[in-house]
Structure 1
């Protein structure tokens, strides 16, 4: 008999398979096309070689004609950088983690279907768990298992440490999705630096129950990450809208594509809309 963990993983795979195959795969390929060809090395010119591939610098230096050799870049490297801090895991009813698991599983399966290599970095205020990029169904299930069941050691959030680790691991141009509630500061400069080399995207998970609560007045709450208590004025729900607005501005300034996803919304529609919006922006920029 299947274990409970295997049963849950199979159910998650079944839930994601149909939208991946019939809706998201085409949208994904239209946005993340890869870089075509990649330079490999140079070799001596041979009769019949295309003179347009001539490497004139090497030819001048050696006195012998050389051409550049290229290989087709058939696959991409795709990373999920997932926040497992206390604010992501200790919300009411575990809704944030459920939404994170679903949207990350959809991204994993659509990338695997596109023959891309998928890697995972789970982080808090330290890098908690790393799965190097790989391909195939068994690799996808390994990532989905970690998303569902991995329990972090720490509670805090440190983007700088995680982004430094990602920058060290991702030597080639990669696609990365940072998934978090972004309830922390001091990470925009690092994201912007990485966006010059990689295709960086952010998924902001927000909990509507916090914004829609009918409670009001001053209440004492405990910060799930620091275990410190703070007095919060629940009248100031505008702070939530302010955080979202500031996040959008910061991501725009950093050159990062942002998906603002509310817990409880349809993850498939959210991703399809995000892919479609990115495709439309690229068409507008190229004048296509």
Structure 2
């Protein structure tokens, strides 16, 4: 992708996702993720209905009128985007690939964080950490993350979820909000890393999948290639037995994934590429 094309694509994503953030999603983000605590803001005169426990007795004695301490939420948070950039995400049967949708979701979350003056960082991972972007504030930093995601070419096409999770543990000692964005096509067990990250950070997982992967269409012989290993196999999709086997395999993998996250205490949203991902994100936030 040349520079001019990249900048146009970044601008299109910014316009779309910032509008969604401002008009649709901002309230859900702010409600779902609270600040670290309360900090002292000012002292003002007592008003009927104020909590008497907040009375500032020193000021009250000095002025001979009751005053209370006013506190405000410490809003600043750190948001980390753990983004799967492995080969399987390039698949797309419609207008958008899984990676396209992940890019838009990441942009929406990043602009939501920036709008609330939160820091945003990112970890791009395959079966290795491909890129670490330390958290910073501001629109320019969000645009930098989007540019990198649009134009990034990973060194590996394979997936290892535990690699991204372990790097987050090493990179950030203070509590953060972490969004794990992937199709979760990883046969390895990463449940221990999930539990460890969820213990220290506020971890939320978003699974993106193409609806065409749920069941095989009846179109005869299909040449199926694994985008991560390169392995090619022929499937006879005209066979009802083969289609049923494939569908059972998908459902079994889906159930195992959901159980893994439930046992680890991590929220999981599954979104198809042809779905309205904003509605899916809103449901996820509202369930917290």
Please tell me the TM-score bracket, short chain as reference.
0.7 to 0.9
Kept in 2, the 8 Å contact 1:218–1:234? The answer is: no
**One of 113, 124, 127 as aligned partner of 1:125:** 127
Which consecutive unaligned segments of at least 5 residues does structure 2 have?
Answer: 40-57, 59-71, 236-241
- 1:83 equivalent to 2:84? Answer yes
Following the alignment from structure 1 to structure 2, what is the Cα–Cα distance between the partners of residues 3 and 227?
32
Change (3 A) 1:37 1:230: farther
Q: Distance in 2 between matches of 1:229 and 1:213?
A: 16
SS in 1 for 2:178: strand
Q: CA deviation at 1:235?
A: 3.2
Contact (CA 8 Å) 1:216, 1:234: kept in 2 or not?
no
Match of 2:266 in 1: 256
Give CA-to-partner distance per residue, 1:132-171, whole Å, 9 cap, x none: 1011110010111122221111011112222111101111
SS in 2 for 1:25: helix
The alpha carbon displacement at 1:234 in A equals 3.6
Tell me the equivalent position of 2:238: none
2:276 is equivalent to residue 266 of structure 1: yes
Q: Distance in 1 between matches of 2:99 and 2:23?
A: 25
Partner SS for 2:268: strand
**CA distance in 2: counterparts of 1:180 and 1:128, whole angstroms:** 15
> Would the aligned equivalents of 1:27 and 1:275 in 2 still touch at CA under 8 Å?
yes
Q: Could you state the TM-score of these two structures normalised by the residue count of structure 1?
A: 0.79
Aligned pairs, number: 249
Instruction: Kindly report which structure 2 residues correspond to 1:42-191, keeping only aligned pairs within 5 A, or say none.
Output: 73-92=74-93, 95-184=97-186, 185-191=188-194
Alpha-carbon distance between aligned partners in 1 of 2:221 and 2:168, rounded to the nearest angstrom: 41
Equivalent residue number for residue 52 of structure 1: none
**Offset at 1:229?**
3.6
Q: Deviations over 1:24-55 (max 9, x none)?
A: 111111110122159xxxxxxxxx7xxxxxxx
Summarize the alignment of residues 160-239 of structure 1 with structure 2, pairs less than 5 Å apart. Answer: 160-184=162-186, 185-215=188-218, 221-230=224-233, 233-236=242-245, 237-239=247-249
Distance in 2, matches of 1:202 and 1:264, equals 19
Q: CA deviation at 1:73?
A: 4.1
Q: Quick one: distance in 1 between partners of 2:202 and 2:160?
A: 21
Unaligned runs of 5+ residues in structure 1 are: 39-47, 49-70, 279-288
Report the more deviating stretch, 193-202 or 16-25. 16-25
State which drifts further: 83-92 or 148-157.
83-92
Indicate the RMSD between aligned Cα atoms, in angstroms. 2.5
